[in-house]
Structure 1
Amino acid sequence: MGETAAAAATMHPDEMNAAAAPASLHRPPFPTLYIGDLHPAVTDAELIYAFTSYGTVASARVCRDRASGTSLGYAYLNFLSFSDAEKALKEMNHSLLHGRPMRIMWSQRNPISRKNGIGNLFVKVKP
């Protein structure tokens, strides 16, 4: 693998989009991680506490059902630096929180990338 390809493999999707985009477009204000498979009891504050050792967490939001307020089992975590977010992703992916392994990946902010059919497919088999 060439040096350029190796660097791109560790780049945040928004950084790759910014590298390919015209100079007039800029990188999003915060690198964001998607945290999935969360226990329903996990709170925003617990996520911030769990990830603070990797860098400054700008914000965390556990997504909840509008009607009932119950957790939907995933959250978004914003860091101030891409390198801190990358470190957290590498070291915390599949680590336990409330006894459940967290599934962590980059959040894809670009709606074109999300809607063009290119992405990840996760299949979960229930025992």
Structure 2
Amino acid sequence: MVKIFIGGLPDNIQEMDLAILVSLHGRVETIKVVRDRATGKCKGYAFLEIYSLPDAKNIVSTLNGETFRGNVITVKISEEESGAKAAKPKPTPNANQTFKSKRPRLQR
């Protein structure tokens, strides 16, 4: 699965509207519209999981910069999926390494 980001969405967007727009260009697995907890309005962006990388690339190339309900939308492959931000491996302690211990808290 490939995660894509869609930004510039109107605040009254529904998941079904987004599914209809995107599914014309590729197979959509999941849709997560990010909403404000208090009002329930869309914060202007959503994340979608797309079945395959070719579908995701087709969606990005077709929809990026297009107008949807009066807003110009930005569509891109999410950085965590594209490998742009690879996680750094955590160092493993060796027998030769020494670690500082934490200072005890002062009691008042």
Identity of aligned residues (%): 26
CA RMSD of superposed structures (Å): 2.1
Q: Which runs of 4+ in 1 moved over 3 A?
A: none
* C-alpha distance in structure 1 between counterparts of 2:17 and 2:41, whole Å: 16
Q: Does 1:77 align with 2:23?
A: no
User: What TM-score do the two structures reach when normalised by structure 1?
Assistant: 0.61
Q: Does 1:34 align with 2:5?
A: yes
* 1:58-88 Cα distance to aligned partner (Å, 9 max, x none): 0111100122211100001111011001001
Structure richer in helix, relative to its length: 1
Match of 2:16 among 2, 22, 45: 45
* C-alpha distance in structure 2 between counterparts of 1:101 and 1:60, whole Å: 19
Q: Is the 8 A contact 1:33 1:106 kept in 2?
A: yes
Aligned to 1:66, the other structure's residue is in SS state: coil
1:20 is matched with which residue?
none
Q: Which has the higher contact order (CA 8 A, sep 6+)?
A: 2
Task: Identify unmatched segments of 5+ residues in structure 1.
Answer: 1-29, 117-127
Q: Say which one has the larger Rg.
A: 2
Structure richer in strand, relative to its length: 2
